[in-house]
Amino acid sequence: MAGFQSLTASQRSQLMARISKYDTKPEMIVRRITHGLGYRYRLHDRQLPGTPDMSFPRFRKVILVHGCFWHQHDCRLGRKRPSSNADYWHPKLARNVARDENVRLKLARLGWEVLVIWECETADAADLTHRISAYFEDAYPGVKEAYQAVAVRHGQF
């Protein structure tokens, strides 16, 4: 397939339309790890601000899985800026960042703890597993044992 820069406006539009809001690859990675650690969650709870990717009502915790480009993470992917139609894209991406902050504040006011996992962080499964287990460590007795069992299954011990 041709590079992103050489696409026609119609081709780029079709490509962008195929990007899913839910069940993205990074989200699926986080779900598998979280489930493997023994946590059960609700997906996209519309009763919570921002419809978090994963919510854990029992612990009043949520996990937001953000795409680096769409949510402007400070990494290689997040620092990319569209060159075509910049008058549309730059404000749109800025609104995404502002909305993310607003959602985090609303969730915090409601007593929910928020963990943001960036797309680039899903590449290292061992580190991500450790991060997720540490997030639940205070809320879930036995999380260290569950983490170690998952780590043994993945050959990390």
**Dihedral sign computed on CA atoms, order 110, 112, 113, 114:** negative
Portion of the chain with pLDDT greater than 90, in percent? 59
Q: Is the pLDDT assigned to residue 147 strictly greater than 60?
A: no
- 7 SS3 class: coil
Measuring CA to CA, how many Å separate 92 from each of 6, 24, 32, 104? 23, 20, 31, 19
Q: How many CA atoms lie within 13 A of 56 on its CB side?
A: 20
Could you tell me the residue ranges of all domains in the chain?
A: 21-153
pLDDT digits (tens, 9 = 90+) for 2-47: 444 676 777 766 666 566 666 789 999 999 999 999 899 999 999 9
Residue-level pLDDT at 19: 67
Separation in Å, CA 26 to CA 64, 88, 92, 152:
11, 26, 22, 23
Q: Residue 2's pLDDT is what? A: 45
For the segment 49-68, what is each residue's pLDDT rounded down to a tens digit?
Answer: 999 999 999 999 999 999 99
pTM of this structure? 0.79
Residue 143 has pLDDT above 60, yes or no: no
Provide DSSP, 15-34: HHHT--SSS-HHHHHHHHHH
pLDDT at residue 85 in the model? 83
Which CATH architecture is the domain 21-153 placed in?
Answer: 3-Layer(aba) Sandwich (3.40)
pLDDT the model gives residue 137: 84
Q: What is the pLDDT of residue 157?
A: 47
Q: Measured in Å, how far apart are the chain's first and last C-alpha atoms? A: 41
Predicted confidence (pLDDT) at residue 151 exceeds the cutoff of 90:
no
